[in-house]
A = this chain, B = another copy of it.
Amino acid sequence: MRIGIVGLGLIGGSLAAALSEQGHELWGVSRHAETIATACAKGWLQHGSTDLSALIPTELVFVCAPIPQTLSLVQRLTAVLGIDTVITDVASVKGAITAPATAIWPRFVGGHPMAGDTATGLAAARADLFRGRPYVLTPIATTDPLALERVQVAIEGLSVSLHTMSPDNHDATVAWISHLPVVVSAALVASVGTIDSPELAQAAATLASSGFRDTSRVGAGNPALGVAMAEFNTAALLDSLHHYRHALDQLIHQIEQADWPALETQLHRNRQTRRRFCGEQTGQQ
């Protein structure tokens, strides 16, 4: 298949690497000529350009841009692509993108490859980033079935775990397991940042270990991505946050009331819940 990638960061670069490995012919577009040259040198692109019009020969284009730029890139591509070309995206919110993008371009299919890394950019890209990871497609009533099929064919070669759900179900799901943890963790980092005593702050920084490290990780990630998650998935995120706040208040109440049996019951229940979500034995530092 003749495949185009717009945006050669971690996700776009890894898609180029994985898809070219599958024998597809790859066109890449980046604002930076240097990035194009690097990706071509790695053999991940056969054609590179800083100009979207270079994508005219492609049958399928992945828009791999930050959430706030995704729709406007789809809009700009409509002026360039042949009418048969399918466009898909990789944004981690789908309600704000799938329907409007489909209205702009009838052969649009919303997508979300759920893989990542703490490192970003083309330098961190790798062909196996998506292997074994979930890849969600979010077709709606007006999605062209042939367009959906073309995206499925392209990504099935990546050994992903392919899921199909509505944009709203996708957004509600990622609110719980991806966006809520970011805010929960961000509040932890923010609160630790408010420690008044310099001596206490110093001791805390010295003694912080794996428990703090793991719980604080996603709350100190890319600020622009954190804001975009909140801005483009506000309703579902706030719903999960209100549930979270209620659960937190219950735990605080149990501790204030020294209701240790209730606290222990909840912590036992948590082991079951997490096993259901993470499929493993769990432990405490």
Contact = CB atoms under 8 A, between A and B. Distances in A.
Interface of A: 114-120, 133-134, 136, 163, 165, 169, 172-174, 176-178, 180-195, 199-200, 203-227, 230-231, 234, 237-238, 240-241, 243-252, 255-256, 258, 260, 263-264, 266-271, 273-278, 281-285
A246 B190 CA distance: 10
Given A172-B200, A178-B212, A190-B270, A222 B283 contact: yes
Nearest to A222: B284
A181 B188 contact: yes
Contact of A278 (B212, B221, B278, B283): B212
A165 B204 CA distance: 12
Contacts of A246: 191
Contact of A194 (B186, B243, B276): B243
B193 A283 contact: no
B224 A264 contact: yes
Contacts of A238: 252, 255-256
B285 A165 contact: no
A206 to B, nearest CB: 7
Nearest to A267: B223
